[in-house]
Structure formats: C-alpha cells, structure tokens
Chain A
Amino acid sequence: MGQSDPVQVLASETCTYLLLPIVDERVVYCVVRLNRYFILFSIVDASNNSRMPTVTMYESLQKKAPTILHQIKKSLDELNEKMDVIIEIQRHHQEKIPSIPEGTLDVMTLLSLPDHLRKTAITLCRLGEATADEIAEHTRRARAVESGYLNQLVLMGYLKKERRGRKAYFYAENQS
C-alpha cells in the first residue's frame, strides 16, 4: 500500500474523481476535478475501530468510496445547477429587463416579462404564496432554477420573500 497503488478514476460529464491511494489513520483522501478546479476531500471512517489494521481499513474505505463519490457527484451536480442559474440570472440582468419601482405584478407586467420568468410569476399568482419547491412542482422545472427566478423577481421588486424556519416563502404583495 502506498504511492504505487492504482488510482481509482470515476468520471462524469462535468467532473473527474480521483481516489488517491493515500491513507492516514482512518482517512482516505480523494481529489475531485471540477472543470479547471481541484477539490480535495477527506473520507473519514466513522466506525472508529482502532484495532482494525491499516490495510484492512484502507480496503474497507475503498469499498465505501464509490458510494461517497456518488454523493459528492450529486452535490457537485447540484452546485453546477445553481451556478447555471446564477449565470443565467446575470445574463438576463445584462439584457436589462425593465423593472418597475412599484413592483406591481399585474397582467400587463406579466405580459412584459421574459417567458421563463412569466411562467414562474403566473404560477405564484395562482398559488398565492409558495416556496421554490412548490413552484417547481407546478412548472416541472428544477427547484434550483425556480429559486433563481423567484429571487430575480424579488430583486426586480415584483415579489416579496419571507423566511419561516428553514423555508423561504415568496408572494406578490397587494394580491390578496
């Protein structure tokens, strides 16, 4: 066991994962490549079995590695999705969407909104108030995408956002 052990490689469309054969006590290190960035993760054995020989522990962690790496991949995909939303929001900002200071979300405003925001806004008008999850259920788009659009509508002054516990609720003011 050591630097000469084979390096495990898992790849997806966006990321490459390298499981490094480096063992330090109960830790296996893992390097994930995301585009041009490298992220170092440590995978810790939580069993705390100090009697387990180092080699067995490495093998045990190696078995768990694919599951852990898939979880990492899922998290990174979610991160990517959020980054896409941020990029899209920035792009739409550059297109200078007309904003109205009073933030009145009436039908004429709905007509003037770009298609992607109109869908979110109409769905929210129908529901009265909703979380990004609830909107996504109706529009059949990703929650992260709806969250981005809702926040954009908040920035444009058309919607209000209120945190209740861990959830953020969006609503159009003056619509009740």
Chain B
Amino acid sequence: MGKIIAIHSYKGGTGKTLISVNLASTYAKKGRDVCLFDLDFRAPSLHAFFKADSVEHWLNDYLNGLCDIEKVLTDFTPKNPGKGKLLVGLANPSTEAIREMSAKDRKWEMRALGRLLSLKNSLLNDMHTDYLILDTSPGLQYSSINAIVSADTALVITGTDKSDIQGTQRMIQELYDLFEKKTAIIMNKVPCEVMPSKNQAAILRNHFDMKHNLPILEVIPCSCDILSAGGTYIFTEEKPEHPFSKTLEKIASKIERF
C-alpha cells in the first residue's frame, strides 16, 4: 500500500513547498504515482508553482463535501515517457476562500479530518497511488495537525535558527510523539560556512541528534541557484545533476525504506 507524507515545519519560510514539489517530482521520475496536495489554506502556493489558471475544483471544495477527490486532481505529469504520474490538488488562493477557511469551526475541522483520513482508501487503495504528499501550513494550525494525523510519516523542515530548532523539538515531543508518527527532520538552508563539506554535514547531523535529540534525515545547504529559480520551475526536473536534486533523491530513497 502507498504512503502519506505530511511536510510540516514550526516556522514559515523553511522550504516546505520547495521540498514538497521536488520530492513529488523525484518520486514521479522514479516511476512512482504521486499526488501532491496544497493544505496551506492560509497561504496557498502550489497553483503558482504549477501555473494552474483554469482550476474548476479546489481542495477546499473536497473538504467542504462539495465534490469527490478525483475532481480536484489535475495532471501535471512530466512529459517524459516511462515516468510515474504526478497529480496535484490545489488550495483556492482567493482572499474570500482564505477568509472562509480561516473561519471554520471545530465540527468542520472534524469532518475535514474524516475526509483526509478517507484518502487512504480512495487514493492509495482504489487509485493505487504510491505517495500522497501533503504540503501543510507552518505551526500548530488545524489543517496541518489534520494532515499530520492522516499521514504515515511526518517530514519536518527546519532551518538553523535557534527558535526554529527549539520549536521543532517541542513539536516532536508534544505533537508527533503523541500521535505516534514516524518523524524525520530535514535541515534546510544551512549556510555554506556551517557546512563546507560532506564530512561536515555528517558532523552536523550527529550534533543535532546527540545534543537536541533531533534525528536529521538530511542537511540541505543554502543555494543561490534555488533562490534564483524563484519557484518558476521544478528544480529536480530542470537540473537533475544539481546537488539539491541529488539530496532530494537520497531523501526519497530513505523515506521509501521507512
């Protein structure tokens, strides 16, 4: 059976969306069928990444019980033969939709959780999807906790900022552990001065594991190439030989072995 991966972080701007999109693309390149969902209803961003202009059904509609999940999925499979499918579910970026989603009550959130949990049957069992990747809002929002509860694995993205690391530690103890989630941490945007070599990356991983009890899956150095791309294309597709793309391949393989 397939796997649901929730990509989450304590703070915003850690690179959740970048890693979500590129992880989904990496799996599709490996021949896996992938669904990628934008569950950041307060600041939707995947529609811009995929340049989706004519969307009829949003994930908002699915969670509101207005349509089935199949209606929400848009095919963004890379046009290379022999690759897996990449289907994307987008969050409605209109101000009205964001306002509406922010005002939902607990009963609605409970129904939303039920609908997210049912994706395991509809997407993974019935449609034989290999991976469902949920790009979430940062911090302890209803939508992100719903995503974490629904997921098999939580992938937490953190920077090297002290407040971010402490917040991630707290979330592990007070959120992921309580829900008994398999959790992996990716340290992103690590300054080159901190991590000049591969050897240093291993030292950094061990340091966080021992000192902060944070099991770091991979360390991704800060890259001007990624910043220059500005979210205009899928990095791992355009630059498969770039160190970032290679690190994403390693992450994908490690998650597969979980």
Which A residues form the contact surface with B (CB < 8 A)?
Answer: 102, 104-111, 115, 118-119, 122, 125-126, 128, 172, 174-176
Determine if B110 is an interface residue (Cβ-Cβ < 8 Å): yes
Determine if B50 is an interface residue (Cβ-Cβ < 8 Å): no
Contact between B117 and A106 (Cβ–Cβ < 8 Å)?
no
Q: Which one of A107, A122, A125, A174 lies within 8 Å of B107 (CB-CB)?
A: A174
Give Cα A106–Cα B120 distance, bound, in whole angstroms. 18
**With A107-B142, A125-B117 in contact, is A115–B110 under 8 Å at CB?**
no
Which B residues form the contact surface with A (CB < 8 A)?
Answer: 106-107, 109-111, 113-114, 117-118, 120, 142, 145-146, 149, 175, 178-180
**With A118-B178, A122-B179, A125-B149 in contact, is A107–B111 under 8 Å at CB?**
no
Q: Which 8 A-B pairs have the closest CB atoms?
A: A175-B114, A107-B145, A106-B110, A104-B106, A106-B106, A106-B109, A174-B107, A104-B110
Q: B122 → chain A, closest Cβ, in Å? A: 13
**With A125-B149, A126-B117, A175-B114 in contact, is A107–B109 under 8 Å at CB?**
yes
- Contact residues in A for B111 (Cβ distance below 8 Å): 174-176
- Contact residues in A for B107 (Cβ distance below 8 Å): 102, 104, 106, 174
Q: A156 → chain B, closest Cβ, in Å? A: 15
- Contact residues in A for B178 (Cβ distance below 8 Å): 111, 115, 118
Contact between A108 and B106 (Cβ–Cβ < 8 Å)?
yes
Please give me the residue from chain B that is nearest to A118 by CB atom.
B178
**With A122-B149, A125-B149 in contact, is A106–B113 under 8 Å at CB?**
yes
Give Cα A109–Cα B145 distance, bound, in whole angstroms. 11
- Contact residues in B for A128 (Cβ distance below 8 Å): 114, 117-118
- Contact residues in B for A102 (Cβ distance below 8 Å): 106-107
